[in-house]
Chain A
Amino acid sequence: MYDQFKVKAEAVSADVLRFQTKGEALDFIFRFMREEGLSTYAGESAVWADGNFIEDIDKNVLEAEGIFFGVTAQRAAGARFGICCMDWAIADTGTLAHDSTSFEKRLVSTLPEIHIAILSAKAILPDLQSFIERVSPEKFPFISLITGPSRTADIERVLTIGVHGPRRLVTVFVDELEVNTDEK
């Protein structure tokens, strides 16, 4: 299912990567952000909505580099990178999904220019049907499905990436990560 996900997600201009361990994934994420100009300046910083993914690293060190964990709307709007975990993926449409009841997750996945989404490689479901069967709206008041970066074709039907949401969506699968949410 990973392969199918990758094909479908790439078809809608998402980047898809896969790593065995958390450590490798983190290495990639830091390297990627540095290459893309991470800094503490406005417009070049990062906001991270799931602090617990990186429990072993000193967050003060990361903040000095421009990665912030206290997410506010202003900070997310001024960031280049937004990072959060996703709970599920849907293979046949290349879609990511998460319980985004906490508004921080919605902010980091929508306001910055680049959204980095992390999730367990075991969390891929075949299709929308199996996803909807698995989640209950009573338990998750705000469920988000994300398929590729933000896009529009409102001017002359020309596809343009990055309108109000991110222009890039980088999906990072981690094999050793456990499935995050106990469902229903």
Chain B
Amino acid sequence: MKNEFIESIDRAVNNSNLTGALGKFSEAYRVNRAKAYEGVDFDELREKIASIKSAAALELDALAELFRENAEARGAKVFRTDEPVEVKEYILRIARENGVKTIVKSKSMATEEIHLNPFLEKAGIVVKETDLGEWIIQLAGQTPSHMVMPAIHMTREEVSDIFSKEVNERLSSDIPKLVKVAREQLRPFFLNADMGISGANIAVAETGTLVLMTNEGNARLVTTLPRIHVAVVGIEKLVRHFKDIVPIIKALPRSATAQLLTSYVSIITGKTPVTNGNEKELHIILMDNHRSDMAADPVFRQAMQCIRCASCLNVCPVFRLVGGHVFGKVYTGGIGTILTAWFDELGKSSDIQGLCIQCGACKDVCPAKIGIPELIMEIRRRLVTKQGLPLVQKALYSVVNNRRLFHSMLRAASIAGGAFASGGFIRHLPFFLSELTDGRSLPAIAKEPFRDRFTRIRQPVCREKAVFYAGCLIDFAYPEMGEAVVKILNSAGIEVIFPEGQTCCGAPAKYAGAYEVAAANAVDNIKALLLPDVSYVVSACPTCTVALQRDFLKTLEAAGKNKWITKAEELAAKSFDFSSLAKKLAESGRLSFSATDTEACVTYHDSCHLKRSLCIHEEPRTLLNLAGYTIQEMSECDTCCGMGGAYSMKLPEISLPMLKRKLANIDNTKAGTAAMDCPGCVLQIRGGFDRERKNITVKHSVELLAERLKE
């Protein structure tokens, strides 16, 4: 990552106005969004949207032509082009032909994307943004930091300064007064403009209809008052049927601003009369700008489903720390990263893609059902394929796979502490040695890894067998978690096998985009773990479980190692996350706890991969309850703790504030103990409390459960 990029992150994180505004907003958003969706079956709704828009993405050409036919039959002129520059020239030509001096615009991301305003202004035309947020940033000479709320990064004082300059008068920072200034200032432009430029939220092919949704009423005026209306529409807005607009209109305001509906929805089909008694001139520009390429890519096609609601930004723990000017350019946040890679170029996304911690919060709320984190991973993979991995990283991945060497190196590093750690070498090791700056203590690397301690565990004779897959953290830093797993499974009548050949799950490599390395990890693990007469392969690390159940398959496919696919599927079918297996065992009466001390109170942190990739959140709570722990829920229990594997090493500037927030939420419960099911989260959170010298116990659920097994 470039230095200037890191600096921009630093500036953003230390801008208390920005982080305060975004933080407050993201908290309120969660609650309000849930309220707006009350009584609506969200999954059914987004299924509908995904199917409408994915079907449209497959027949873009046909839909664009159908749209043209129908819109032109009703008097509109439709211009379709791949090139941003042609969009700009077309608009300028119409403006020139009609003697246009002033243009009013309502919000349009497509025109932001092609930087239309400066182009028209250079040609001597006055262009006024009329959406309040867009007008503010136009006056400030900035770019939008959020797709729905372009000026969310600004305070009322800043807005009042900007407006004061515009009207040449010292204004107060009273918000209703500022809004009134905007109304008064922009009114004459609406009334006198010769051309109105808008975007569109939906374009219906079978009728040639445009749907525009706004709250301020400006789009209504932009499309009603001037004698020429130009709508710039990205072709991803096309749907086939008029009835297709229903689910989109239903979801967009609920997801975007937690409203049931925007104040205004205009459904415009063809030319309409204008005030001077003539017919309005309506031009609709269908803009491609690499959207067809994106639709032709089998992986990225789903990004065409996006309805630009920006809810993926609103829930993103990284976005709320750094805001849109760091996390993206025109299109911001997770989806912005993807759109930038396509509409701009792949290389332009190389810094911002690294901001995604892969927590999956965005995917959960996306009304278009887009797998945003997976698509960002794919960008990462393609970047690595194109540019290659830095040499140091490549060398390290081979070290990672030599388990004993890896362990002794880690151990050495952990003893040497800061001095050793400051060298560039250690900073590139996955996971443990990541956060060597302030805020979190390093985990002590165990003197003896789990793989060696395991050989001394005496197990009872059992009728069933399970393979335990430890993963790096449990093997090298937290062997006691592995011992707890063995103890619990033994008590359920299951003998645990620890195959020596198991190695890193490949997640660090995969998350760095090094799919070749990850695929090699997958093969080694399949060889080691797929044993006869074994009922389960168990992991107590959600990232490892995701690897066992899904990522091995994906990386093998991506690396073209097809002959391993069947084996990978066989392994996936047997693989269990500890808590779901333990819950099953408890339900069938094979596992019981002695819940003596019913006073014990814990709070529970949902790990990203467990909750959102594996959809597991009830199981660990049920188990803890069975073992007599009362759960005191914390605020934002499923928000990322900032660990994200190697992320915390690359971007401590972001990881640390996320951790701080998590620690505060845990502390506020007064529970005294925090339970979680991911050794990575334990590392992050325990280290955080340790640094703060707070006496709060942080444990993996397996440790809490093992303490209370019925003898």
Residues of A within 8 A of B (CB): 8, 12, 72-74, 77, 92-95, 101-103, 106-107, 110-111, 128-129, 132-133, 136-138, 140-158, 160, 162-166
User: Is A102 a contact partner of B191 (Cβ separation < 8 A)?
Assistant: no
Candidates B149, B187, B190; contact of A154 at CB < 8 Å: B149
B21 touches A157 (CB 8 A): yes
Chain A's nearest CB lies how many Å from the CB of B237? Answer: 15
From known contacts A74-B191, A110-B224, A137-B269, infer whether A157 and B215 are also in contact, taking CB-CB under 8 Å: no
- Which residues on A sit within 8 Å (CB–CB) of B183? 162-164
B263 contacts which of A132, A154, A165 (Cβ < 8 Å)?
A165
| Cβ contacts under 8 Å, B149 to chain A | 153-154, 157
Cβ of B156 under 8 Å from chain A: yes
Which residues of B lie under 8 Å from residue A156 when comparing CB positions?
21, 154-156, 175
Q: Which of B80-88, B242-250, B358-366, B598-606 contacts A (4 or more CB under 8 A)?
A: B242-250
User: Which residues in A have their C-beta under 8 angstroms from that of B94?
Assistant: none
| Contact between B269 and A149, CB atoms less than 8 A apart | no
Closest to A132 in B: B246
Query: Which residues B170-216 have CB closer than 8 A to chain A?
Result: 175-176, 178-180, 182-183, 186-187, 190-191, 204, 207, 209, 215-216
The residue from A12, A73, A138, A144 contacting B191, defined by CB atoms under 8 A apart: A73
Evaluate whether A165 and B156 lie within 8 angstroms (CB atoms) in the complex, with A110-B221, A110-B224, A154-B131 already known.
no
Question: With A110-B221, A150-B217 known to touch, is A155 a contact of B243 (CB < 8 Å)?
Answer: no
B652 at the interface (CB under 8 A from A): no
Contact (Cβ within 8 A) A143 B224: no
A137-B156 contact in complex given A8-B260, A110-B220, A147-B263, C-beta closer than 8 Å = no
Contact in complex: B242, A137 (CB < 8 Å) = yes
Q: Which of A140, A144, A146, A160 contacts B175 (CB 8 A)?
A: A160
A110 and B220 alpha carbons, distance in the complex (Å): 8
Q: How far is the CA of A164 from the CA of B186 in the complex (A)?
A: 8
Q: In the docked arrangement, what's the CA distance between A102 and B695, Å?
A: 70
Considering the chains assembled together, what is the distance between the CA atoms of A102 and B275 in angstroms? 9
A151 in contact with B175 (CB, 8 Å): no
Which B residues lie within 8 Å of A166 (CB)? 217
- Inter-chain contact A165/B217, CB cutoff 8 Å: yes
Q: CB-nearest residue of chain B relative to A129?
A: B246
A32 to B99, CA, bound (A): 44
* Nearest-CB residue, chain A, relative to B218: A164
B272 close to chain A: CB less than 8 A: yes
| Residues of chain B contacted by A73 (CB below 8 angstroms) | 191, 225, 275
Chain A residues in 8 Å Cβ range of B317: none
A154 close to B150 (CB less than 8 A): yes
The 8 closest A-B pairs by CB, nearest first: A165-B217, A154-B133, A145-B265, A163-B216, A137-B269, A143-B267, A150-B217, A154-B132
For A101, list chain B residues within 8 Å (CB): 272-273
Residue of B nearest to A71 (CB): B275
B257 within 8 A of partner (CB):
yes
Give chain B nearest CB distance to A171 CB in angstroms.
14
In contact, A106 and B175 (Cβ under 8 angstroms): no
Evaluate contact between B261 and A93: CB separation under 8 angstroms.
yes
Query: Is A149 a contact partner of B263 (Cβ separation < 8 A)?
Result: yes
Which residue in chain A gives the minimum CB-CB distance to B192? A73
Q: Given the known A-B contacts A107-B224, A162-B183, A165-B217, are A154 and B265 also in contact in the complex, defined by CB atoms under 8 Å?
A: no
A142 to B265, CA, bound (A): 10
| Bound-complex Cα distance A132 to B241 (A) | 11
User: Once the chains bind, are B224 and A103 in contact (CB under 8 Å)?
Assistant: yes
- B90 at the binding interface (Cβ < 8 Å): no
- Chain B residue at minimum C-beta to C-beta distance from A107: B224
Q: Are B204 and A137 in contact (CB under 8 A)?
A: yes
In the complex formed, the residue of A with least CB distance to B244 is: A132
Give the chain B neighbours of A153 by CB distance below 8 A: 149, 215, 257
B243: A residues at CB distance < 8 A? 132-133
Residues of chain B with a CB closer than 8 A to A141's CB: 74, 268-272
Q: Tell yes or no: B15 within 8 A of A by CB.
A: no
Given A128-B250, A147-B262, A163-B179, A142 and B267 touching (CB < 8 A)? Answer: yes
Q: Decide yes or no whether B25 CB sits under 8 A from chain A.
A: yes
User: A140 CA to B74 CA in the complex, in Å?
Assistant: 11
Pull 29 A–B residue pairs with CB atoms less than 8 Å apart, ordered by A: A106-B224, A107-B275, A110-B224, A129-B246, A132-B242, A132-B245, A132-B246, A136-B242, A137-B207, A140-B267, A142-B272, A144-B266, A145-B266, A146-B264, A148-B263, A149-B263, A152-B132, A154-B131, A154-B132, A154-B133, A155-B132, A155-B136, A155-B175, A156-B21, A157-B24, A158-B156, A163-B215, A164-B186, A164-B216
Per the 8 Å Cβ criterion, residues 274-295 of B in contact with A are 274-275
B179 touching A152, Cβ below 8 Å: yes
Considering the complex, give the chain A residue whose CB is closest to the CB of B268. A142
B34 to chain A, nearest CB (A): 16
- Cβ A145 vs Cβ B264 within 8 A: yes
Alpha-carbon distance between A144 and B221 when the two chains are bound, in angstroms: 12
B151 interface residue per 8 A CB criterion: yes
Establish whether residues B275 and A150, one from each chain, have CB atoms under 8 Å apart when the complex forms.
no
In the complex, are the beta carbons of A151 and B267 less than 8 A apart? no
B54 at the interface (CB under 8 A from A): no
| A147 contacts across to B, CB distance below 8 A | 259-265
Instruction: Answer whether residue B130 sits at the interface, using C-beta atoms and an 8 A cutoff.
Output: yes
B269 touches A165 (CB 8 A): no
Q: Is B470 an interface residue (CB 8 A)?
A: no
B595 interfacial by beta-carbon distance below 8 Å: no
Interface contact A138-B217, CB-CB below 8 Å:
no
A74 to B220 alpha-carbon distance, docked (Å): 16
B159 at the interface (CB under 8 A from A): yes
Cβ of B152 and Cβ of A157 under 8 Å apart?
Answer: yes
Shortest CB-to-CB span from B75 to chain A, Å, is 9
Question: How many Å lie between the Cα of A93 and that of B38 in the bound state?
Answer: 12
Pair B215/A150 contact, Cβ less than 8 Å: yes
- Give the Cβ gap from A160 to chain B, nearest Cβ, in Å: 5
Contacts A144-B266, A150-B217 given: A103-B274 contact, CB under 8 Å?
yes
Interface string of B215-238 (1 = CB under 8 A from A): 111101100110000000000000
Residues of chain A contacted by B263 (CB below 8 angstroms): 12, 146-151, 165
| B224 contacts A163, C-beta separation under 8 Å | no
Nearest opposing residue in chain A for B242, CB measure: A137
CA distance A110 to B218 in the complex (A): 9
Q: Which partner residue on chain B sits nearest A77 by CB separation?
A: B191
In whole angstroms, what is the CA distance A128 to B247 when docked? 9
| Beta-carbon contact of B156 and A155 below 8 Å | yes
A136-B242, A152-B132, A155-B178 known; 16 new pairs, CB 8 Å cut-off, are A103-B274, A103-B275, A110-B220, A128-B246, A136-B207, A143-B266, A144-B220, A144-B267, A146-B263, A147-B262, A152-B179, A152-B215, A154-B151, A157-B24, A160-B179, A164-B183
Contacts of B217 in A (CB 8 A): 110, 150, 163-166
Q: Give the docked Cα–Cα distance between A160 and B182 (Å).
A: 12
Contact A137 B224 (CB under 8 A): no
Interfacial chain A residues near B187, Cβ < 8 Å? 77, 164
Question: Are B275 and A72 neighbours in the complex by a CB distance under 8 Å?
Answer: yes
- Cβ contacts under 8 Å, A137 to chain B: 204, 207, 209, 242, 267, 269
User: Chain A contacts of B218 at CB under 8 A?
Assistant: 163-164
Nearest-neighbour CB distance to chain B for A98, whole angstroms, equals 11
Docked pose: A115 CA to B562 CA in angstroms: 66
Nearest CB on B from A164, distance (A) = 4
Chain A residues whose CB sits within 8 angstroms of the CB of B150 once the complex forms: 154
Cα distance, A103 to B242, chains bound together (Å): 23
